[in-house]
A and B are shown apart, each in its own frame.
Chain A
Amino acid sequence: MIEKVRERVRDLLSSGEVKGFLGLSNKYGNTGPHLFCDAEDLDGLVIGDWKGPGDARYTLNKQLIHIVRKYPDDVFGVLVRGCDDRGLKVLYTWNQLNPEKVIPVGIACSQDLADACECRKPYPDDFVAGEKVEGRASDSVARLDALDVAGRFEAWLKEFSKCIKCYGCRDVCPMCFCKECTLEDDRLVNNGVIPPEIPVFHLTRAVHMVGRCIDCGLCNEVCPADIPLRTLYKKVADIVDEEFQYRPGQELYAKSPLNILMQPSSTG
């Protein structure tokens, strides 16, 4: 798998098609993000399987945004799994990245990872390595849906009460690119005070991820309190899909339902 990725990256770099390739590298005994700029120096390149499949994934699209904000005229390659590919579509749609300046190098996820992620589409549209495996619906959402409303609310309050308000869920999210963040708005959030107001803090973020969250699960992985944030956002995405037939990252340039809601209605 890694050889195919390396081969593709080598081609992109040696032909000069990309200025750099943002991927993952093993260095200093750990796996982390790395910008590869030399076709002859790809030894450290990995796909982020550390002890298990996909357990060393990083928010590469977010880092790509950081780079292209300063170098908008250059073309960069980036390592993408299915979720990152969904992310790119949404980021193109919201003008955060320019599709003409990004060359994704796709990998398909294993069935184990797709199961752990409860991923609907565990592969990018195009990929150079890996096999296409079945996507699946979410059992974790179904388990909570099986409770009555009071039980569900109690379960979520119990989870939210563990929050240490580190803002890691927001900071890691490749789809959180706003300059002003609602989670720092004094009208909603008591800034600089812990613990956070529950459930307002978490529900505010959940509502804000409508039309954005591409279900990568990085927020869930980064949460020091192990709050199942991904399940919450999956549920929100399900509701929006049912009501508006929209799921972020499914189609390029599809309008988010928030755009539709913001249109002035014809009856005034």
Chain B
Amino acid sequence: MDYRTVLTTCTYCGCGCNFYLEVLDGQVIDTIPCKTHPVNEGKLCIKGWNVHEFIQSPKRLKRPLIRRDGVLTEATWDEALDYTVSGLKAIKDAHGSDSIAFLTSAKVTNEENYLLQKFARAAVGTNSVDHCARL
């Protein structure tokens, strides 16, 4: 038997509520809001309370998909990254850096957001960076 309560941060929005995921024999079975965390003080919204459900959802996207002849097909990370790089390069060469914008997410960490804007500004050369929390 392997029972753990794993402290982690909610991925649903940018607030940063903390909870324990209850993990029994490798299966995530429940969410327990952390009472001592200063952000949420033991409280959660309905999305946070149900966060354990999507982790194991069969509908979850786990691999990159590339649209080939109009159909989304599974691809390896190398294929997907090559495809993205060549696509971005082609657009940049034809229309310039400012024809490209990046949309990042409130569901990822600060550090990941930092990396994305760095990539946008330093590698691609655009200041057009936005995120879903503005929607």
- Which residues of A come within 8 Å of B, CB atoms? 19-20, 27-28, 30-35, 50, 55-59, 63, 66-67, 70-71, 74, 164-168, 171-172, 221-224
B1-54 residues at the A interface, CB under 8 angstroms: 1, 3-5, 7, 18, 20, 22, 24-25, 29-37, 42-46, 49
Given the complex of chains A and B, what is the CA–CA distance between A35 and B4 in angstroms? 7
B35 in contact with A221 (CB, 8 Å): yes
Cross-interface CB contact of A66 among B24, B34, B36, cutoff 8 Å: B24
By a CB distance below 8 angstroms, the chain B residues around A50 are 35-36
Q: Which residues of A contact B31 (CB under 8 A)?
A: 171
Complex contact B34–A32 (CB within 8 A): yes
Q: Is the CB of B46 within 8 A of A33?
A: no
* Cα distance A120–B7 in the bound complex, in angstroms: 33
B→A interface (CB under 8 Å): 1, 3-5, 7, 18, 20, 22, 24-25, 29-37, 42-46, 49
Known: A66-B22, A171-B31; 6 extra A-B contacts, CB below 8 A, are A50-B36, A58-B32, A166-B44, A166-B45, A168-B44, A222-B42
User: For the complex, what is the distance from the CA of A50 to the CA of B44, rounded to whole Å?
Assistant: 19
Measured CA separation A258–B60 after assembly (Å): 42
Complex Cα gap A35–B44 (Å): 23
Contact A30 B37 (CB under 8 A): yes
How far is B109's CA from A235's CA once the two chains are assembled, in angstroms?
A: 45
Q: What number of residue pairs across chains A and B have CB atoms under 8 A from each other?
A: 82
Return chain A residues, CB-CB under 8 Å to B29.
Answer: 66
Whether A27 pairs with B7 at a CB distance below 8 angstroms is yes
A31 and B5 form a contact (CB under 8 A): no
Chain B residue contacts of A74, Cβ below 8 A: 1
| Best-buried of A20, A74, A221 by chain B (most CB within 10 Å) | A221
In the bound assembly, the distance between CA atoms of A20 and B5 in angstroms comes to 14
- Which A residues are CB-close (under 8 A) to B4? 35
Complex: A171 Cα to B19 Cα, angstroms: 13
Is the CB–CB distance between B34 and A222 below 8 Å? no
> A165 to B46, Cβ gap below 8 A?
yes
Q: Nearest 6 pairs between A and B by C-beta?
A: A224-B43, A30-B36, A35-B3, A166-B46, A56-B35, A32-B20
A34: chain B residues within 8 A (beta carbon): 5
B37 contacts across to A, CB distance below 8 A: 30
Q: Which of A63, A67, A165 has the most B CB atoms < 10 Å from its CB?
A: A63
In the assembled complex, the CB of A219 is this many whole angstroms from the nearest CB of chain B, namely: 11
Contact A31 B35 (CB under 8 A): yes
User: Which residue of B has the minimal Cβ distance to A71?
Assistant: B1
11 A-B contacts, Cβ less than 8 Å apart? A19-B1, A31-B35, A32-B36, A35-B4, A58-B32, A70-B1, A70-B24, A70-B25, A71-B1, A166-B45, A221-B35
Q: Which residues of A contact B45 (CB under 8 A)?
A: 164, 166, 224
Asked if A59 and B32 make an inter-chain contact with CB atoms under 8 angstroms apart, the answer reads yes
Residue of A nearest to B8 (CB): A28
Q: Which of B3, B25, B32 contacts A32 (CB 8 A)?
A: B32
Contacts of A67 in B (CB 8 A): 1, 3, 24
Q: Are B33 and A222 in contact (CB under 8 A)?
A: yes
A252–B113 CA distance with the chains assembled, in angstroms: 55
Query: With a CB–CB cut-off of 8 A, which chain B residues contact A221?
Result: 35, 42
**Set of chain B residues within 8 Å of A66, measured between Cβ atoms:** 22, 24, 29-30
> Are A167 and B49 in touch, CB under 8 angstroms?
yes
Bound state CA distance, A59 and B49, in angstroms? 14
**Nearest-Cβ distance from residue B5 to partner chain A, whole angstroms:** 5
CB-CB under 8 A from B36, the residues of chain A are 30-32, 50, 55-56
